[in-house]
Amino acid sequence: MDRTLLDKPIVLIGFMGTGKSTVCRLLAERLGWSWKDTDEEIERREGRSIPDIFAESGEPAFRAIETQVLADLLDTPKIVLATGGGAVLAEANRQAMLEKGYVVALKAEREQIVSRVRNDPNRPLLQGDVEGNVARLLAARQNAYDFAHLTVDTTRLSAEAVVERIAAARLEAAGNAP
């Protein structure tokens, strides 16, 4: 059994609206671990909202901050991390996640994503034509999450069911099947 896998951070990746933040909190609670949402941590460290960071400093500045926050949090044992949907765009982030964590990609059907994010003002990349922007970004990021150790489609699952799938797959990967 690979005990080191059982202590590694669990890193949730996926497009916005796939359930990363909700699953993060529930999974951490189930495991008795701490949790962090990288977007919330960025806002805390910067003292401003993500839409403000985008508006005032631009997406490249936001991505640089995101990379630093992710690197810092990946050094924390027994933590569940919910990453922003674009955190996987940087090769350095993907490598760090794979090296230091157990990476779980959450995905969902486009219609489900649109219904989940349609009225969220904190999504600067979706402002305006939400449906069109979701479709465009999903197409651009079509294979961006393929590097994960595990992929779970959240479209028709409760958050609790997603947590159970992740917990079981992690134990199985560590050689300690439930």
Mean pLDDT over the full length of the chain: 88
* pLDDT at 78 (0 to 100): 93
State yes or no: 86 annotated in a binding site.
Answer: no
Whether 22 has a binding-site annotation, put simply, is: yes
Comparing 14-18, 128-132, 148-152, the range with the smallest average pLDDT is 128-132
Provide CB contacts within 8 A for 10, sequence distance 6+. Answer: 27, 31, 33, 79, 80, 81, 101, 102, 104, 166, 170
Is 19 within any annotated ligand binding site?
Answer: yes
Q: What is the domain partition of the chain in residue ranges?
A: 3-173
Write the CATH number of the domain with boundaries 3-173.
Answer: 3.40.50.300
Whether residue 1 is predicted with pLDDT greater than 50 in this model: the reply is: no
Helix, strand, coil percentages, rounded to 5, for the chain:
55, 15, 30
Q: Does 32 belong to an annotated binding site?
A: no
Would the annotation count 30 as a binding residue? no
> Is 63 within any annotated ligand binding site?
yes
